[in-house]
Amino acid sequence: MKTVTEVADLRQQIVEWKQTGKRIAVVPTMGNLHQGHLSLVTTAQALADKVVVSIFVNPLQFDEQADLSAYPRTLAADIEKLDSVNCDLVFTPTADVIYPNKMDEQTVITVPNMDDKLCGKFRPRHFDGVATVVAKLFNIIQADIAVFGEKDYQQLLLIKKVVNDLNFAIDVIGVPICREQSGLAMSSRNQYLTAQQREQAAALYQTLSSIKTSLQQGERDFAMLEQQAFSHLQQLGFKPDYIEIRHADNLARPNQVNQGNQGVSQLDSQDFLKIKLADPLVLIVLVAAQLGKARLIDNIICDLA
C-alpha cells in the first residue's frame, strides 16, 4: 500500500493507473477508522480496480476550534487497518496542502436548503465545509466512483446534489450502516462514550425501529411519533437535537395525513429539492442526540410501499 501527502505525487499515480485502463474509487474519511470505514473500502474494491482512501481532518467543517483540536488523530493505526484490507493508496494531506491560501479567502460551496434542517440547523456552515472539501478531493483524485456511508445521510444527499449540480464525472455510492451487536451505529464518536453510555446508546436504534414499526402498521401522525420519540430519548438521558420523519430521496417533510390513509401527500413548498418523488412511500427517520461527550446520529429507512 502506498501513502502520499502531496497532490503532485497522488496525481502521478492516478495518471499511471488510468493509462492502463484502471477504474478508480475514492473513500474520503477524516481518519480514526473503524469497521464501518473498512466496509466502505471493501465495497469500493468490488466496484473498482484501485481504491484511494483520503484521511484529512477538515477544519472548514468544524463549528468550533476546540472540536477541531479534540478530534482524534490516529494515523498510524488507520494506515495499519487499511493495509490489512489491501487498500491501494492512502492520501494524507495537511491543511496547507488542501487549503494553500488563507482559510477566510477560500472559495466555498454552499448547497441551498441544507442549513435549515436536521444537522444543518444545529451545525451552522458545517455542510459548506463538507461540500467544499469533497469537491476539492474529487478534483484532486479524479476517481470514477466515490463511496460514502449512509449513517451521515444528509451529507450523502448533499454530496450527490453537488455532483449533479456541478457536473462532476463521478458516481456516488452509499453503503448501509454498520452496527454493533447492540444495534448502535458504528462511529468514531462512540469512543467518547463510557461503558454504561455505550449500552444506553443502543436505545437510539431501538427508538428508530419502533417508529418504523408504527409507520408500517399504518400510523401517519408523524408529529405525534416524533414528539413521543423525542420525549422518550430525553427520559433515557439523551439530549436530542431532533428526531424527524422525512422523504428518503430528498429530505422533504411528508405532510400530515389521517391514520389509515395510505397516501402520502405533496411536498411542502419550501422543502429541499422540489422534484416529483419516484416513490413517495419510502421515508427515513433521522435522529441526532447528545449523550455525554458524544453527539450521535443514526437513521432508518421505512419502505411503506
pLDDT in tens, 238-292: 999 999 999 999 999 997 543 333 333 344 434 433 333 344 589 999 999 999 9
* Fold of the 188-303 domain: Pantoate--beta-alanine Ligase; Chain: A,domain 2 (3.30.1300)
Q: Which of 62, 55, 228, 210 is nearest to 130 (CA)?
A: 62
| Tens-place pLDDT, residues 43-94 | 999 999 999 999 999 999 998 887 888 888 999 999 999 999 999 999 999 9
127-136, 207-216, 266-275: segment of lowest average pLDDT: 266-275
- Domain segments of the chain: what residues? 2-175, 188-303
Q: What local confidence, expressed as pLDDT, does residue 202 receive? A: 97
10-24, 104-118, 178-192, 271-285: segment of lowest average pLDDT: 271-285
- Asked: is 2-175 a CATH 1.10.540.10 domain? The reply is no
Which residues are designated catalytic? Answer: 37
Calpha distance 258→183 (Å, rounded):
31
297 within 8 A of 151, measured Cβ to Cβ: yes
Q: What local confidence, expressed as pLDDT, does residue 63 receive? A: 81
Cell numbers linked to 52: 484511494
Q: What local confidence, expressed as pLDDT, does residue 280 receive? A: 52
Range 195-217 average pLDDT: 97
Task: Report long-range pairs for 98-106 (Cβ below 8 Å, ≥24 apart).
Answer: 98/56, 98/58, 98/133, 98/136, 99/59, 99/60, 103/59, 103/60, 106/60, 106/132
Average pLDDT, the chain: 91
Q: What local confidence, expressed as pLDDT, does residue 66 receive? A: 75
The b/e string for 83-113 (b: 16+ C-beta within 10 A; e otherwise) is eeeebbbbbbbeeeebbeeeeeeeeebebeb
Q: What local confidence, expressed as pLDDT, does residue 277 receive? A: 38
Cell numbers linked to 223: 408529529
Range 17-42 average pLDDT: 98
Q: What local confidence, expressed as pLDDT, does residue 70 receive? A: 84
